[in-house]
Structure 1
Amino acid sequence: MRRQMILGLPIHALGYHQGCWRLPEVPADGTLDFRHAADCARIAERGKFDFLFLADSAAVRNLDDPAVARDREHEQVKNEPLALLCALAMVTERIGLVATASTTYNEPFNLARSLATLDHISGGRAGWNLVTGFSGDEARNYGFDAVPGSDLRHERAREFVDVTNGLFDSWDNGAFPRDRETGIYFDRAKMHFLEHRGKHFKVRGPLDVATPPQRHLPIITAGYSDQANEFTAEIADAVYAAAPNLDVGRAYYAAVKGRLAKYGRAPDSLKVLAGIMPFVGRTRQEAQDKFEQLQSLIQPEVGLGMLRLHNFPDLRGHDLDGPMPEVELSRGRYDMFSDALLEKVRRENLTIRQTYEVVAGGFWHLGKVGTAADIADTMEEWFSTGAADGFNIQAPYLPGSAADFVELVVPELQRRGLFRTEYETPMLRDRLGLPPAVSRYDASRLRQAGE
């Protein structure tokens, strides 16, 4: 069967463009309105997307920095992902449901209960976007004075995954006869105490939720640090990647897949999903008009805050339409993108306003303006030349941009044989091309039989 793209739709906010919430057709209160999320979910399912994706950080961030205008942004208040996805499971039938949850600010037993419940309610459609947390504001909400170091967070995350999967394995297949005649509800011989005692966790088990339909949920990660890439190669089934151009995308794809052999994994065992923000129109002019309308809605305070978050200094008080002053970038989460952005500023003599417009239009990920054929050409090139196994479609505004993509781009991808025309299987794990998960207890029995 011909290799086909994986497509996800992030719906955690009102769109990826910072001006989107000011469009009259976008529900400004949509981040808290279930009807908005349901509309987006139905659109994505109509387009045969693999999954919905809910990014999350449990904080309103950067409120202490006056140069970041969070009060003018739309994504700071939102519904809790797992609760929202359980509700969305009731209004969808096939699309996957991926929730973000941190291994730094959760405990394995609680999260395993929640994820297993979502998998049961959805009939095997749940996925886990595993994050370790990068925000100091989030850390302070959970009793930390600062974000724990990256080495510690990833060490804890490895043990967290081991414990969580161990809890998912609490029950063997056929553990619940529910036999009314004998009165046996579950078979004790098919139940396992985890009895985990590690550096970070002590968990007895068993999990009080039956084995999830997928047994082990697909894990998606993100991040660009050496620790993050190593963790991805060891643990993840897919990685949410961001690259502003094909060369960067190919380099990341090769680098992260090049680590897999160290863990006995084949290259296809990890799916690289690039972010793309498509501004699509029936004509190139229509697409350009949509792009320019959104760019015109960027408030200067928001634009300057975007630069601040990309390691630029506080540029308030400077002439927005004057040249970028000599600046020294701080070091932080977006070093790779910030350095490339500053190089572009110097090379093209961009003004401050032009610089934040570049960021808003998709510099740190892939921004593309054009017709359905133009968008499909770009996606096909990335997909066929070693830059992506699929894409997270970062709709500039919701639900409109998602509907445009489903109406215009999806048929073009289907015509080229790059994307499905119907859902092949109900379970997300199968749809991502992952092998069936094997219980650690079954694996142990197989090893003992082989000996």
Structure 2
Amino acid sequence: MTRQLHLGLNVLSDGMHPAAWQAPEADALGFLRPEQWNRLAELAEKATLDAIFLADLTNLSLDGDKPLGGPPLSLDPIVLLSSLASKTTHVGLAATVSTSFEEPYTLARRISSLDHLSKGRAAWNVVTSADGKAAANFGGKPFPPREERYARAEEFVDVVRALWDSWSDDALAPDKATGAFTRRGSIRPIDFKGRYYSVEGPLNVPRAPQGHPVLIQAGGSNAGLNLAARQADAVFAALATLEDAHAYAADLKARTRAFGRPEHAVKILPGLSFVLGGTEAEARARNDLLNSLAGERRLAWLAWQIGVDPSDLAWDAPLPASLLEGSTPSPGSQGARDIVLNVARRKRLTVRQLLDRILTWHRLVVGTPEQLAATIEEWFLSGAVDGFNLMPDVQPSGFEAFVDHVVPILRRRGLFRSEYRGTTLREHFGIPRPQHRFLAS
């Protein structure tokens, strides 16, 4: 194989299924236990995965005084990944952080710190936020329109990159005899003055082992794709069908070329949800059990994904015509909503049928390890994707099944590595270390 399949583990609190915490083998409070997180990191490194990928939310949605329907997405990704850095030696550590609630300087410092502490394994998943409930936790100011949010994000990333380059690679040269700790002229302010940010710099952290930690982007809107094409090393895409994947790849590559970058500069890594069983019947029985435990929460989850009220949806009816025929912008993720609506339109599915095909707006496979491996192989060899972010139904049992039964198949077929050939995340992805933009060595 001349191309290398890339696999990451996307970890939520308990798994991707809304009823993951209710599975018989699940520890309902595992999301707070370091033992469970350490187990996942151990498995990811055993399987030679590229990275562990942590999503994030900065609010807790309540429905009056009703109990929560599952564990919240609680732990701060950078804090958690810093802990996992001490338990691992190779697997990458990718943290989602929204530009809507951060300052470039503090974010640049934290991600660079993680890169140093992990010896070059950090990544930042760049997202913007449109959740009014989250905004209420950060001053309550109304969100700007989508295009402005992404314009702000573009400038945010520019500031962060400039701060990562405010030290030269050879700046550290401690000389006990002379008392000079760094080379003369090796650190400089960035004096950034833009439309949204004014940052003097320099950063108080030396240049990261990777030069710049890996940049990932997770948005499917027009503005999100432009951000990915200009800035990202990889995209965490939402793609429910192979047809969608080919269209997405062609679009992203064209945009990447338009920004003067090689068309393959951005790794395409869609999410892949799965429920595994020893036989297809076993997998479907496991999925049916989880679905029955989740009940109406599955409907509420879909409603949230596409930006409607749950009362607008009926299990055995199509999505509302206003959604299927209209073009009203989504209050949340436009890319995620489009994925769901495109599948519903193309297949003329009821809500129940749609939920049997898509879990959290990503491709869903319910079947055997051989069937899941075949899906991965088909998508990868078609050239539409560079790999996947794995989204098991239940943690850690769903991921354990993948490591024990799917990874060996992928290795036998020559699709996936059996050992790491480098130590940094950039080496895993096969992407070069960026040159310093300001200071010559």
Aligned-residue identity in percent:
36
| Equivalent residue in structure 1 for 2:392, among 376, 392, 395 | 395
Work out the CA distance in 1 between the residues paired with 2:107 and 2:191: 17
Q: Match of 2:301?
A: 306
Q: Match of 1:236?
A: 232
| Equivalent residue in structure 2 for 1:340, among 339, 342, 356 | 342
Matched to 2:102, the amino acid is: N
| Equivalent residue in structure 2 for 1:404, among 401, 405, 410 | 401
| Equivalent residue in structure 1 for 2:104, among 101, 108, 124 | 108
**Aligned-pair CA distance for 1:338:** 4.0
Work out the CA distance in 1 between the residues paired with 2:290 and 2:207: 46
**Aligned-pair CA distance for 1:222:** 1.4
Q: Is the Cα contact below 8 Å between 1:244 and 1:362 reproduced in 2?
A: no
Sort the Cα spacing of 1:273 and 1:324 in 2 relative to 1 into closer, same or farther, 3 A. closer
**Aligned-pair CA distance for 1:364:** 2.1
Residue pairs, 1:22-421, within 5 angstroms: 22-61=22-61, 63=62, 71-74=68-71, 76-300=72-296, 302-311=297-306, 313-316=308-311, 323=317, 328-329=322-323, 331-332=329-330, 333=333, 334-340=336-342, 342-343=344-345, 347=348, 350=350, 354-355=352-353, 357-358=355-356, 362=359, 364-421=361-418
- Render the CA deviation track for 1:373-431: whole Å, top value 9, x for unaligned: 21111111111113211100001110001110011111111111111100110010121
Work out the CA distance in 2 between the residues paired with 1:169 and 1:317: 50
Q: Is the Cα contact below 8 Å between 2:319 and 2:344 reproduced in 1?
A: no
Q: Is the Cα contact below 8 Å between 2:291 and 2:298 reproduced in 1?
A: no
Sort the Cα spacing of 1:57 and 1:70 in 2 relative to 1 into closer, same or farther, 3 A. farther
Please give the secondary structure, in 1, of the residue aligned with 2:404: helix
**Aligned-pair CA distance for 1:103:** 1.5
Q: Is the Cα contact below 8 Å between 1:244 and 1:363 reproduced in 2?
A: no
**Aligned-pair CA distance for 1:174:** 2.1
**Aligned-pair CA distance for 1:255:** 1.1
Q: Is the Cα contact below 8 Å between 1:307 and 1:356 reproduced in 2?
A: no
Q: Is the Cα contact below 8 Å between 1:4 and 1:417 reproduced in 2?
A: no
Work out the CA distance in 2 between the residues paired with 1:328 and 1:65: 28
Matched to 1:305, the amino acid is: A
- Render the CA deviation track for 1:296-338: whole Å, top value 9, x for unaligned: 21122x12312321447545499x6665696533751344234
Work out the CA distance in 2 between the residues paired with 1:14 and 1:176: 42
Sort the Cα spacing of 1:261 and 1:322 in 2 relative to 1 into closer, same or farther, 3 A. closer
Q: Match of 1:441?
A: 438
Q: Match of 2:421?
A: 424
- Render the CA deviation track for 1:163-196: whole Å, top value 9, x for unaligned: 1111111221221211122222122321111111
Matched to 2:413, the amino acid is: R
Unaligned runs of 5+ in 1: 447-451
Please give the secondary structure, in 2, of the residue aligned with 1:424: coil
Work out the CA distance in 2 between the residues paired with 1:73 and 1:341: 27
Work out the CA distance in 2 between the residues paired with 1:285 and 1:153: 46
Sort the Cα spacing of 1:422 and 1:308 in 2 relative to 1 into closer, same or farther, 3 A. same
**Aligned-pair CA distance for 1:93:** 1.0
Matched to 1:306, the amino acid is: W
Matched to 2:38, the amino acid is: A
Q: Is the Cα contact below 8 Å between 2:162 and 2:190 reproduced in 1?
A: yes
Work out the CA distance in 1 between the residues paired with 2:292 and 2:346: 21
Please give the secondary structure, in 2, of the residue aligned with 1:426: coil
Work out the CA distance in 2 between the residues paired with 1:311 and 1:441: 44
Matched to 2:20, the amino acid is: C
Work out the CA distance in 1 between the residues paired with 2:294 and 2:126: 31
Work out the CA distance in 2 between the residues paired with 1:410 and 1:158: 37
Please give the secondary structure, in 2, of the residue aligned with 1:189: coil
Work out the CA distance in 2 between the residues paired with 1:230 and 1:295: 37
Work out the CA distance in 1 between the residues paired with 2:316 and 2:6: 43
Please give the secondary structure, in 2, of the residue aligned with 1:391: strand
Q: Is the Cα contact below 8 Å between 1:304 and 1:314 reproduced in 2?
A: no
Sort the Cα spacing of 1:16 and 1:70 in 2 relative to 1 into closer, same or farther, 3 A. farther
Q: Match of 1:449?
A: none
RMSD of Structure 2 on Structure 1 (CA):
2.4
Work out the CA distance in 2 between the residues paired with 1:321 and 1:128: 38
Say whether residues 1:15 and 2:15 are aligned partners.
yes
Unaligned runs of 5+ in 2: none
Aligned residues: 433
Please give the secondary structure, in 2, of the residue aligned with 1:259: helix
Q: Is the Cα contact below 8 Å between 1:303 and 1:356 reproduced in 2?
A: no
- Render the CA deviation track for 1:92-143: whole Å, top value 9, x for unaligned: 1110000011112111111111011101110100000011112121222112
Q: Is the Cα contact below 8 Å between 2:12 and 2:73 reproduced in 1?
A: no
**Aligned-pair CA distance for 1:243:** 1.4
